[in-house]
A = this chain, B = another copy of it.
Amino acid sequence: MIEDKDRKKTDLSSLGEFGLIDHLTNQFEIKQESTVKGVGDDAAVLDFKDKKTVVTTDFLIEGVHFDLSYMPLKHLGYKAVMVNLSDVYAMNALATQVTVSIAVSNRFPLEALEELYSGIELASKIYNVDVVGGDTTSSTRGLIISVTALGEVVEEKISYRSGANENDLLVVTGDLGAAYLGLQVLEREKQVFQVNPNNQPDLDQYTYLIERQLKPEARKDIPQLLADLDVKPTSMIDISDGLSSEIMHLCKASNVGCNLFEDKIPLDPQVINACEEFDIDSTTIALNGGEDYELLFTVSQEDFPKIKGNPNLTVIGHMTAKKEGMHLITRANQKITLKAQGWNSFNEE
């Protein structure tokens, strides 16, 4: 939260749009065989050969999706890529390329965009995707990022939302609720900072929560793990809007119902502790918090032995007949109808 006042600041208008794109993208290497031509022409040229292409896109808007008072620009660039790759992995596909468009007001110097792009570059290196295009323009207010991600997958492996069957097991990767709590911790520290800018926050007990909010990782490992385990999910979706609304998406697309067991929902100890501290119910956070970028999928019961005991995977419920509805079975064995209280940006102003 402390700005380096001595840092060099170069006005964006001194480079112009073409100079800016060149400057920001000229260090990007091409890593994917499917990238025939990256940045530098009217369009990128890709070659997916006999594989299917998947494509997905997401906006990140300052003041709606992020707050630069605690989100470092490098992390933001990284996260903007993750948000999109997560959707590619949710198709059981391999992410291969992204295009990154940014609109910025003149308050951002070139060095700020370099920071943002260093995060994008880091993400593209670690996740082995090519940055093949984009657009750079001015905005009337704040920073706006639009990323489109492409991926490839053989037809037999594609996991849609619509393939879940009655009695299939409902499985989630990783753990839930941490990103939302990380945001609560950061918001609280922002308030403290505004009152007393010299206060030194002690965030040691929240490191995992903050990392999940500021530097989420998409589950690149899961399509590979599923292939290694010889498991083809019958349906799959990424959890960005909270477990509850994503389960409902799966159920609706697949025409099934579901029982979700509260005691099975995977929670990190930091999530449990922070929920006590903030006096909020951890199940509510896991169901509705959002931004976890984990994957939710269904598998046939026959596949249970293959996934059993895997530390990355937790069976949290099972699918039922549609007429049975979508329910949470509480620790007290009560049956509660699931509701989607996922994030709705149109309610926020």
- A residues contacting B by CB (< 8 A) are 12-13, 15-18, 20, 36-37, 40-50, 52-59, 61-65, 87-88, 90-91, 93, 97, 99, 101, 103, 105-106, 132-135, 137-142, 144, 146, 148-151, 153, 158, 160-162, 236-238, 245, 249, 253, 340, 343-349
Which listed residue, B42, B93, B158, touches A87 by the CB 8 Å rule?
B42
Q: Which of A133, A141, A158, A345 has the most CB of B within 10 A?
A: A345
A99 CA to B148 CA, complexed, in Å: 9
Complex contact B135–A64 (CB within 8 A): no
Give min CB distance, A93 to chain B, whole Å.
7
Q: Which residue of B lies closest to A95 (CB)?
A: B43
Complex contact A47–B52 (CB within 8 A): yes
Complex contact A46–B41 (CB within 8 A): no
Complex contact B137–A61 (CB within 8 A): yes
A190 CA to B54 CA, complexed, in Å: 44
Can you report 21 A-B residue pairs in the complex whose CB atoms are below 8 A from each other? A12-B346, A13-B344, A16-B344, A18-B340, A42-B56, A42-B161, A42-B236, A42-B238, A43-B88, A43-B151, A44-B54, A45-B53, A45-B91, A47-B52, A55-B97, A56-B99, A57-B134, A61-B140, A64-B138, A105-B349, A138-B348
Q: Which residue of B lies closest to A160 (CB)?
A: B41
Which listed residue, B36, B50, B135, touches A58 by the CB 8 Å rule?
B135
Complex contact B146–A349 (CB within 8 A): no
Residues of B within 8 A of A54 (CB): 43-46
Residues of B within 8 A of A15 (CB): 346
Residues of B within 8 A of A16 (CB): 344, 346-347
A49 CA to B47 CA, complexed, in Å: 9
Residues of B within 8 A of A56 (CB): 42-44, 99, 133
A47 CA to B154 CA, complexed, in Å: 10
Give min CB distance, A309 to chain B, whole Å.
27
Residues of B within 8 A of A106 (CB): 346, 349
Q: Which of A52, A87, A161 has the most CB of B within 10 A?
A: A52
Which listed residue, B42, B59, B138, touches A345 by the CB 8 Å rule?
B138
Residues of B within 8 A of A133 (CB): 55-57
Give min CB distance, A263 to chain B, whole Å.
28
Residues of B within 8 A of A236 (CB): 42
Residues of B within 8 A of A46 (CB): 52-55
Which listed residue, B18, B87, B150, touches A55 by the CB 8 Å rule?
B150
Residues of B within 8 A of A141 (CB): 140-142
Complex contact A345–B43 (CB within 8 A): no
Q: Which residue of B lies closest to A245 (CB)?
A: B18
